[in-house]
Homo-oligomer: A and B are copies of this chain.
Amino acid sequence: MPDFKPRIVQLIPAWQWLKDYSSGKFKSDLLASLIVIAMLVPQGMAYAMLAGLPPIMGLYASMLPMIMYAILGGSTTLSIGPVAIISMMTFATLNPLFEAGSPVYIEAAMLLALMVGIISVLLGMLRFGFLIQLISHPVIKSFIIASALLIALGQLKFLVDVPLNGNSIPEFALSVWQYLSLTHAASLVFGIASILFLIYFPKLLNSQSVRSKIGSTNFIIKAVPLILVIISIALTVGLDLKEIGIKTVGEIPSGFPPVRIPHWNWDLVLKLMPGAAMIAMISFVESLSIAQATALQQRSNLNSNQELIALGIANISAGLTSAFPVTGSLSRTVVNADAGAKTPMAGVLSSILIVVVTLFFTGFFKDLPLVILAATIIVSIWKLVDFKPFIDTWRYSKADGIAMWVTFLGVLFIDISTGLIIGIISTFILMLWRISRPHMAVIGLVEGTQHFRNIQRHHVVTAPEILSIRIDENLTFLNANALKGFLINEISQHPQLQHVILNCSSVSSIDYSALEMLEDINNELSKLHIRLHFSEVKGPVMDKLQQSKLLKHLSGEIYLTHYKAIQSLSPKVFEYQI
Contact = CB atoms under 8 A, between A and B. Distances in A.
Interface of A: 130-131, 133-138, 288, 292-293, 295-297, 299-304, 392-393, 395-397, 399-400, 427, 429, 431-434, 436-437, 439, 472-474, 476-478, 480-482, 484-485, 487-489, 491-492, 495, 505-506, 508-509, 511-513, 515-517, 520-521, 524-525, 527-528, 538, 540, 544, 547-549
Given A292-B488, A436-B130, A477-B136, A511 B472 contact: no
A396 B547 contact: yes
A400 B513 contact: yes
A130 B437 contact: yes
Given A292-B484, A484-B292, A488-B292, A473 B301 contact: no
A302 B488 contact: yes
B397 A511 contact: yes
Contact of A396 (B130, B300, B488, B544): B544
Given A292-B488, A434-B509, A512-B393, A524 B130 contact: no
Contact of A432 (B134, B489, B509): B134
A482 B513 CA distance: 26
Contact of A292 (B485, B492, B506, B515): B485
A355 B473 CA distance: 49
Contact of A299 (B396, B491, B511, B540): B491
B399 A511 contact: yes
A429 B439 CA distance: 24
Given A393-B512, A508-B473, A488 B296 contact: yes
A489 B300 CA distance: 7
Contacts of A392: 549
A431 B296 CA distance: 29
Nearest to A516: B137
Nearest to A130: B436
Contacts of A131: 429, 432
Contact of A439 (B484, B505, B508, B513): B508
A161 to B, nearest CB: 41
B512 A397 contact: yes
18 contacts: A131-B429, A133-B477, A133-B478, A133-B481, A293-B520, A296-B528, A297-B528, A299-B491, A300-B488, A302-B485, A304-B481, A396-B515, A397-B512, A400-B511, A431-B476, A472-B540, A474-B474, A506-B508
A151 to B, nearest CB: 23
A524 to B, nearest CB: 4
Interface of A is mostly: helix
A307 B486 CA distance: 15
Contacts of A296: 484, 487-488, 491, 521, 524-525, 528
Contacts of A397: 511-512, 544
A476 B476 CA distance: 16
Q: How many monomers of this protein are in the complex? A: 2
Contacts of A288: 481
A130 B478 CA distance: 8
Nearest to A506: B508
Contacts of A473: 474, 508
A133 B512 CA distance: 15
A203 to B, nearest CB: 26
A98 B439 CA distance: 48
A477 B135 contact: yes
Contacts of A517: 137
B292 A527 contact: no
Nearest to A139: B477
Nearest to A401: B512
A512 B299 contact: no
A480 B285 CA distance: 12
A512 B396 contact: yes
Contacts of A295: 488
Given A131-B429, A133-B436, 7 more contacts: A136-B511, A136-B513, A292-B481, A293-B524, A296-B525, A299-B491, A304-B481
Contacts of A482: 130
Nearest to A471: B508
Residue of A130, A301, A304 contacting most chain B CB atoms (<10 Å): A130
Nearest to A513: B137
A61 B492 CA distance: 33
A354 to B, nearest CB: 31
Nearest to A540: B439
Contacts of A427: 477
A142 B541 CA distance: 25
A130 B515 CA distance: 19
Contacts of A495: 299
Given A299-B491, A434-B509, A395 B477 contact: no
A297 B130 CA distance: 44
B485 A304 contact: yes
